[in-house]
Structure 1
Amino acid sequence: MTYRAGWIHFTNVAPILDSLQLPPGVSAITGVPTEMNAALLDGRVDVANISVVEFIRNADKLEALPDFSVSVLGPVYSVNLFHTAPLHALKRIALTSQSATSVALLEVVLKERGLKPVLEGAEGTPETLLAAGFDGVLRIGDSALREWYAAVGPLTPETTMTALPHTGRAGGQAVHVTDLAEEWFAITGHPFVFAVWAYRKGYPPPPDLVQAMREARREGLGHLAEVARRHAQQLGLPERVVQHYLWNFRYHLEEPDRLGLTEFALKAVPGHAPLQFGPKPGKREVERTL
């Protein structure tokens, strides 16, 4: 029987998925976070790198691999709130339907700041939605990274990504770009976990798939410049931007990441079931990936 994987293949998981060789008996499909969340929960796939808020909400049904995540400590650059008014003055924010975690993170940030703007589902570029009357637009993923750079760039030989301003222009009007992971760090001091590799309880991925994922991660992180060069061409962005973007991520679910995940679970989904993780890799498995 084929074991089915569902991959959310944004650039931020390229160091794991680009070089992944599926072992015999494993198939894979791709989609945006909300699609893969639904596919895992309704049984169309058996494992997926799903939005962490869906893992939390469905903790009674799901477990996660213990040593994989998509996490950041500080800015993420691709989960952005574009807004024309100051954050405290926002009245109407357009929400993407592509990522439940990013929406939940925005809700937590707004609550922690004591803010209560109206949140409405709407798809489109920041320029289009801001022109349509929204004063804030939540955007995620590769498109959000491009839109962030279009608003606050360019990156010059004398500057770094962390030195770029948070204020720029989109569609001819001045916009501020609030990085939600950076806001989370300012509030909690913890990393933010955007995704885990989850599976339905009692049906974990075969060991050879997990081992292939670990080896692909080692390969990708060991050749990050090549991964960045390839995806920079696809995104139409400078290689320096994409390489910084990728080396900013944490792909192991380490103790600081678990602390951040625990705090987010408490704030976003009060009363959730206990989070469950599979057994950590043994010494022999770790040695095979070194």
Structure 2
Amino acid sequence: MPMYTLGLIDYTNVAPLTAHLRDLEGLRYERGVPTAMNAALLEGRVDLSNISSFEFVRNAHRLAALPDFSVSVLGPVYSVNLFHRRPWAELSGQRIALTSQSATSVQLLRVLLEASGVNAVLERAEGDAFTLLDQGYAGVLRIGDDALREWYRVAGPLGERDSMLTLPHQRGDVIVTDLAQRWYDLTGHPFTFAVWAYRRDNPPPAEVVQMMREARRAGIGELGNVARSRAQGMGLPARVIQHYLWNFRYHLEAPDKKGLARFADLACPGHAPLHFGDL
């Protein structure tokens, strides 16, 4: 196999897909945050990567996606959150801090605010949610492992007899709005945060795709072990991480594609048709 580069995002939500990836002759790995992998794929520095669904949609004329891989949820995601002190409906005219790590989450927030008739002032600012709120932002968009930890700071602790589904979404004056849950409430569809995409002129070798499918099967089959491994580095209970992981849909099934198509139409009107490779 000629040299081939697979881009990886080191977030907990993709650990079941990546924990059991193995070495193949000619295969190398590159890691980064979602926006870095988006750029690396489009610039030709990686050949196949887990990328933001919005970037896939925006570049649909150039990209194709594996037909059976995604990072999707039906309902809460726990790690794509707006932290805010004013009620959602009162955020018009208020400043909201946006992360630069994910194009999809920013566009999802825009879509949800617009659907609510909320005209907020969106600004780029990095930092933890509580620091940025204390600096005067009315809302802070946070994603990934940091967002999960900060959500648990509001919602936790999780007692032995508690369910993740019954934990609160407010502590003191800090409210956490889960954007995937709000999307489901708006549309009734799952939300697809990411797909595994490649440039149409450079489809992945069959052995790479097969190895990825085998790794996914092994990772999902050992979800408890994956959760315990990730929990150690995150400072969260393994039960929280395990619930978080089994909440994801990793196979891009028909409902996920419907949700992705709805998001594409709302976030990127006039986009090129989405293409899913026959691999």
Q: Are 2:43 and 1:26 equivalent residues in the alignment?
A: no
1:235 is matched with 234
TM-score by length of 1: 0.94
The equivalent of 2:145 in structure 1 is 142
Q: Distance in 1 between matches of 2:201 and 2:207?
A: 17
Q: Within 5 Å, which residues of 2 pair with 1:238-249?
A: 238-249=237-248
Aligned-pair CA distance for 1:5? 1.1
Shift of residue 158, structure 1, vs aligned partner: 2.2
Distance 2:82 2:110 in 1: 12
- Residue by residue over 1:253-285, the C-alpha shift from the partner in whole angstroms, topping out at 9 and shown as x without a partner, is 1000000000000000000000001015xxxxx
Aligned to 1:73: 74
Tell me the CA shift for residue 252 of structure 1: 0.1
After the TM superposition, list the runs of 4 or more consecutive aligned residues in structure 1 that deviate by more than 4 angstroms.
none
What TM-score do the two structures reach when normalised by structure 2? 0.98
Amino acid at match of 2:103: A
Shift of 1:24: 1.2
1:118 to 111, 118, 121: 121
User: How far is 1:22 from its partner?
Assistant: 3.0
- The 3-state SS of whatever aligns with 2:201 is coil
Paired-residue identity, %: 62
Q: Which of 152, 156, 160 in structure 1 is aligned with 2:159?
A: 156
Amino acid at match of 1:15: P
* Structure 2 residue identity aligned to 1:148: W
Point out where structure 1 has 5 or more consecutive residues left out of the alignment.
281-290
Q: Please, which moves more after superposition, 1-10 or 112-121?
A: 1-10
1:37-48 aligned at under 5 Å gives the runs 37-48=38-49
Distance 1:263 1:139 in 2: 23
* Structure 1 residue aligned with 2:103: 100
1:283 alignment partner in structure 2: none
Tell me how far apart the structure 2 counterparts of residues 231 and 88 of structure 1 sit (CA, whole Å): 36
The one-letter code sitting in structure 2 at the alignment partner of 1:241 is V
1:183-210 per-residue CA deviation (whole Å, 9 max, x = no partner) reads 0000000000000000001211111110
CA shift for structure 1 position 50: 0.2
Contact 1:63/1:199 (<8 A) preserved: yes
Alignment of 1:210-289 (within 5 A): 210-279=209-278
Corresponding residue number in structure 1 for 2:195: 196
Question: Given that residues 22 and 212 in structure 1 are in contact (C-alpha distance below 8 angstroms), is that contact kept between their aligned partners in structure 2?
Answer: no
Question: Mind listing any 5+ residue stretches in structure 2 that lack a counterpart?
Answer: none
Aligned-CA RMSD value: 0.8
Q: Which residue of 2 aligns with 1:285?
A: none
Q: For 2:111 and 2:148, locate their aligned partners in 1 and report how far apart those are by CA, in whole Å.
A: 22
Aligned twin of 2:5: 4
**Counterparts of 2:166 and 2:276 in 1: how far apart (Å)?**
38
Q: Secondary structure at the match of 2:176?
A: strand
Letter in 1 for 2:99: T
**Structure 1 residue 133: deviation in Å?**
0.8
Could you say what secondary structure the match of 2:186 adopts? helix
- Aligned partner of 1:235: which letter? M
Distance 2:149 2:50 in 1: 22
Deviation at 1:47, TM superposition (A): 0.7
What is the identity, as a one-letter code, of the residue corresponding to 2:72?
A: S
SS of corresponding position for 1:56: helix
- The equivalent of 1:287 in structure 2 is none
